[in-house]
Structure 1
Amino acid sequence: MTTFVWTSCEGDKIIIIFRYAAAALAVLPTPVFAQAADDDIVVTASGFEQPRSETGQAIEIVGRARLEQLQSATIAQVLQTVPGVSVATRGGLGGQTSAFIRGGSSAQTLVLIDGVRINDLTSPNGAFDFGALMTGNIGRVEILRGPNSVIWGSQAIGGVVNIQSIAPVDGFEGRLGAEFGGYDTKRLNANIAGTKGVFEGSVGGAFVKSAGISALAGGTERDGYANATGNARLKVNISDSFTLDFRSYYNRAKVEYDSEFGVGANGLPVSRNRQFVGYVGAQFDMLDGRFHNRIAYTRTDLRRIGTDPIVFSFNNFNVRGAIDRMEYHTAFDLNEALTLVAGLEYERTFASTSFEGAAPDIARNDVVSGFGQIIVRPVNGLTLTAGVRHDAYSDYGGQTTLGGNLTFTPNEGRTMFRATYAEGFRAPTLTEGQPPYGNLQLKPETARNFDLGVEQQFLEGKAQLFATYFNRRSNNLIAFSPVSFQSENIDKVTAKGLEIGLDLNPSSQLDIRASYTLVDAINRTGGDTFGNRQALRPQNSFSLTADWQTAFGLSLGSSLLIIGDSFDDAANNVRLDGYALVGLRASMPLNAALDVYARVENMLDAQYTVVSGYNSFGRHATIGVRAKF
């Protein structure tokens, strides 16, 4: 039997405790779980690989084939096609780019590259800047919509974006690509991957350079961008049950931009950014493969150096941040009906900031974390998950987080019901909460979220319709105040809405995908801004892509993105009009290994504003070639 017990702990905190009777486990029949052949494997739900059909959380997967089909140049462009996600870019290519999941702030989106956290702890709110992230050697993007702090800890309030470089393959595979497009933009990328004996490896590099546009509206000088990226992965299979795992990612970029803290649209500030991610780990299985273990050390290191001819513009800076992390995660399959997941983690963060040549301000923080999760499959088609996590911060004390979800299919996956209750939290970043710029009175953000969803297949699996309702309430949301020039806690913010999508594949030659998102992200704190919408969160958004492959190999595709009105300030005085963007694309194989492609973006040359005062791209075209051998 399965029971849910509601009780209280730590004052008014509601705790969900999931109990599964051991005596019942002993008599449960061992179920045979039928998995659909195309059942996706996800890692963001539990930290370990599991079928997507066994989690109640809303997860979207964009694979390499889809990236090539869309011809998406940046990860931000990919995210715009995902329901529940909106993107705001300040200026052209490489400009600061924020992603908002289900109306949450950009700081509430946790970003991983090959499983390693890469959020910028030196930025004012710790948000990840998607402006530097291209798709050249990315193999897969997994987007979890909604909180999952039980597994991922701080910042996983809005969701988790896990970006993976191209993985090793059996045998040998090489990829090459080159393209040239509008605004004098050039891209090159190459990757090789393969397996030889006990070794599995993948290594690649990419380069992007663009003359760009003026970041701020009204400028006459162009703000260029250059980006070089390297990625490498290596697995050493010591035995069938023991593997060493090494991963690294490196990004170096030069961003020319305009700043309001200078001479405006024709300013000449430059930021030189560097990001490094390293992972060293081991995976080993015991007890006939039922006891899975992973131990790892990860390192995230970033540095930004800014220069500006204008003195005391605050664009001359030297910033460095680092995250060192040790983690042990385990999953034990007691039987086919019960899996236990647990983890222990230690993380140390460091930030150093210096403006206009002043002595650097240094801040540090440590956190020790532990979590446990139980996954139960009492009958065929039903999976129940519940978990708890506790984080002990050196600066902010302890934080306990709970979550649970269920998924049920009565007909082997043709119909899927999903439900989730999840809590999330975000501790203040070093720059938000520590001197000289931080506010020592800041409290961690917390959130409670529930969502209900259903997926239904039609036409013998050729069509799939899904809908998800979500409702999140955030307390002590951290936001920057232009009055105090510090971050402050907003008492309450709610975000609720609906995600609807349709995937239609009437034949192997035609692929149609559409999604609509309704988001109400509202400030519920008393005062002048009560009832106002959160900045840069459009209430309505719609995405449609259609791709058709002809009998002789030519592929034609089109995209439509419609973004509704939004506001660019807390007072809701600066309205941003909605807009629609249309794109066309085509590709043609020349032989089994080589194809050429082209695309036109913003085909109707729409004049639109994403962030007040900043420029956006007009109509531009790109042509390219890619090879796979």
Structure 2
Amino acid sequence: MAEDATTLDDIVVTADRKARSVDTTLAPVSIITRQDIEQYQATSLPDVLRRLPGITLSNSGGAGKTTSVFMRGTNSSHVLVLVDGVKVGSATTGSIAFEDLPLDQVERIEVVRGPRSSLYGSEAIGGVIQIFTRKGGNGFQPEVSVSVGSHNTQKANVNLAGGTEATWYNLNAGTEQTDGFNATANNQEPDADGYARDSVALRAGHRFANGTEAEISAVHAAGDSQFDSSFNNETHFTQSVVSGKVTHALSDKVLLKAQLGQARDESDNYLNGQPLTAFRTYNTRRNSAAVQADVGVGENGSATVGLDWQNDQVTSDSVYDRTSRDNTGVFANYQTDFGKNRVDIAARHDDNEQFGGHNTGAVAIGRDLANGMRVTGSYGTAFKAPNFNDLYYPFSGDPTLTPETAQNAELGISGKLAGGKAQWSANVFSNEINNLISYPPPDYQVSQTDKARIQGLELSATTQLAGWEVNGNATLQQPENRSGVDAGKQLIYRPEQHANVDIDRELGKFRVGATVRGESQRYTDSANTESKKLAGYGTLDVRADYRVSKDWTVGAKLGNVLGKDYQTNNGYNQDGVNGLVTVKYAPK
């Protein structure tokens, strides 16, 4: 579904479903590399994603606890997530267990902000996140790391990578466990809520003499997470993704791709160590297939046509009126340059077995200006089919729900300074969403708001100041309900302002850095009741690593050093001052 190019930092494949330079694509894109992950000493996927413009989180009590990712103020289910080109997530909840996907097995993350249904179909209302697992190269490159930290946190990871010019492989295995801390603020169960996970990943491929490339990848993570609830207080989970991909160049103008994949999201619920007698098992499976052709057109044009097929299946001891459905999508994309101008047009038709046909499209225009600047403008439509919980979950589902639809308009300007060492961008967007699905407290019954509007401004910049690498971004947004009794109210769990700044510097064998993060207040009810408001907050993290030798590195990270007491989900604690020390051996 997307050609990988993990070795080239200036190439992005998710925005246009084919390899293009970041300077060429007209979509707002952020890239996180393996080097970034290690430099920031990030501990989880949510820890990485929250640094990016347009993204905020809601976490239910620390490591391994349910984490919702909101992109540009849209619902957490409005983010389409791919792992090595395969769509992942739960077919019941419609969300992705970011907290359970192992960061040690990630080589690169590409984040595209704004609707992408014209290329990917349902769910891409807020944007797309693609996660690439680690990929080997020439020679043998082993790596071992061990970490210990607060709350009796213990982690170990082994990565074996290698290959030749024609063959590559990467095998990764890891384990992690922590005692955690008390997840809930009301001391309903005043005990520590732990988390444990074991994971393994494999990625291997070969390039044949005729130019055909074949690759397989697999990620498997399993463990258990404890939390506070009178109904169930422990979940055993499994997350797995497998795929096979073939790419063949018919000529220097035509590239063919085909991929098969399957993603599983499985969970079993327990109370005080005993399996529940009802509402225990929720297993979902997503089978997918895709074929795509990239064709060069003339000197400066390129076209892409393709077909996607997806089947969602649910197995549960809860009663769902429907447990399977198919979706088939066909899409086309055309891009061309003429002079200093770029044009990108995309269209897609999805045929959903349950909801019928949906058409989506997008058009983007860009123009290069003097001094390395560029202006862009775009308009795109998107949709999302209700998930199985929306429709059929006992006591809260509504089988009369209709698909959500969205229309997004956007203007952007970006530039480079000092030979590309300094970059900046600004994007203004307005996203109109119809039939927005939500679960407002206190009864959490599914609701379909007639209309919501999210307007915003994203700012980002990276530069070097007095020897320091500085990366900063800020998002100002108005995620607003536009109809009914709550018209004009802020959508729940969406702050109106958030900002991040990372600063890092090398000092001989040392590297030091810090992260400052701040978010404004958020509401936990659709009526924006003052007593239901979560206060804004700011946190500071610091980090340092030391190269003991060419093969050994020791790193230390101290999180929330000011001991800020805050919540991102009503009633759930966030960690206070916390630390982690990591020793890594990677022979050169």
Relative to the length of structure 2, the TM-score reads 0.94
1:256 to 217, 226, 246: 226
Instruction: Tell me the SS of whatever aligns to 2:574.
Output: coil
- Partner letter of residue 560 of structure 1? V
Give how far 1:580 is off. 0.8
Match of 2:446 in 1: 487
Give how far 1:136 is off. 1.3
Structure 1 gaps, min length 5 = 1-36, 263-267
Q: Distance in 2 between matches of 1:489 and 1:314?
A: 31
1:439 to 398, 411, 418: 398
The answer to whether structure 1 residue 370 and structure 2 residue 333 are counterparts is no
- What is the CA deviation profile of residues 451-491 of structure 1, one whole-angstrom value per residue up to 9, with x for unaligned ones? 11111222333322211111100001111256886433210
2:197 to 227, 238, 241: 227
> Is this contact kept in 1: 2:270–2:276, CA < 8 A?
no
RMSD (CA atoms): 2.1
Q: Distance in 2 between matches of 1:360 and 1:410?
A: 55
Evaluate the alpha carbon distance shift between residue 243 and residue 307 of structure 1 in structure 2; reply closer, same or farther with a 3 A threshold.
same
Evaluate the alpha carbon distance shift between residue 559 and residue 314 of structure 1 in structure 2; reply closer, same or farther with a 3 A threshold.
farther
Once the two structures are superposed, the pairs formed by residues 186-205 of structure 1 within 5 Å of their partners are: 186-196=154-164, 198-205=166-173
- What is the CA deviation profile of residues 522-574 of structure 1, one whole-angstrom value per residue up to 9, with x for unaligned ones? 000122x1111011111111111111111x22111111101111111111111
Match of 1:80 in 2: 50
Q: Distance in 1 between matches of 2:195 and 2:271?
A: 16
Match of 1:95 in 2: 65
Match of 1:463 in 2: 422
- Partner letter of residue 556 of structure 2? A
Match of 2:259 in 1: 296
Question: Which has the greater radius of gyration?
Answer: 1
Match of 2:377 in 1: 419
Q: Distance in 2 between matches of 1:195 and 1:39?
A: 21
- Partner letter of residue 421 of structure 1? Y
Match of 2:577 in 1: 619
- Partner letter of residue 568 of structure 1? T
Once the two structures are superposed, the pairs formed by residues 127-166 of structure 1 within 5 Å of their partners are: 127-166=95-134
The answer to whether structure 1 residue 581 and structure 2 residue 539 are counterparts is yes
- Partner letter of residue 375 of structure 1? Q
Q: Distance in 2 between matches of 1:495 and 1:202?
A: 41
Evaluate the alpha carbon distance shift between residue 315 and residue 215 of structure 1 in structure 2; reply closer, same or farther with a 3 A threshold.
farther
Range moving further from structure 2, 401-410 or 338-347: 401-410
1:534 to 491, 507, 524: 491
- Partner letter of residue 251 of structure 1? A
> Is this contact kept in 2: 1:352–1:361, CA < 8 A?
no
Match of 1:546 in 2: 503
Give how far 1:133 is off. 2.7
Match of 1:598 in 2: 556
Q: Distance in 1 between matches of 2:171 and 2:379?
A: 39
The answer to whether structure 1 residue 387 and structure 2 residue 351 are counterparts is no
Instruction: Tell me the SS of whatever aligns to 1:433.
Output: helix
Give how far 1:311 is off. 9.3
Q: Distance in 2 between matches of 1:612 and 1:481?
A: 12
Instruction: Tell me the SS of whatever aligns to 1:76.
Output: helix
Give how far 1:504 is off. 1.0
Evaluate the alpha carbon distance shift between residue 176 and residue 361 of structure 1 in structure 2; reply closer, same or farther with a 3 A threshold.
farther
1:329 to 292, 304, 313: 292
> Is this contact kept in 1: 2:557–2:580, CA < 8 A?
yes
- What is the CA deviation profile of residues 65-118 of structure 1, one whole-angstrom value per residue up to 9, with x for unaligned ones? 111111010111111110111011110110100110100010101111111111
- Partner letter of residue 379 of structure 2? Y
Relative to the length of structure 1, the TM-score reads 0.88
> Is this contact kept in 2: 1:392–1:399, CA < 8 A?
yes
Instruction: Tell me the SS of whatever aligns to 2:103.
Output: coil
Give how far 1:144 is off. 0.6
Match of 2:214 in 1: 244
The answer to whether structure 1 residue 404 and structure 2 residue 404 are counterparts is no
Would you say how many aligned residue pairs link Structure 1 and Structure 2?
A: 576
Query: What fraction of aligned residue pairs are identical, expressed as a percent?
Result: 24
Evaluate the alpha carbon distance shift between residue 290 and residue 547 of structure 1 in structure 2; reply closer, same or farther with a 3 A threshold.
same
The answer to whether structure 1 residue 120 and structure 2 residue 80 are counterparts is no
Give how far 1:203 is off. 1.2
Once the two structures are superposed, the pairs formed by residues 175-214 of structure 1 within 5 Å of their partners are: 175-196=143-164, 198-214=166-182
Give how far 1:315 is off. 7.9
Give how far 1:403 is off. 0.6
Match of 1:558 in 2: 514
Match of 1:285 in 2: 249
Instruction: Tell me the SS of whatever aligns to 2:23.
Output: helix
Evaluate the alpha carbon distance shift between residue 482 and residue 624 of structure 1 in structure 2; reply closer, same or farther with a 3 A threshold.
closer
Structure 2 gaps, min length 5 = 1-6
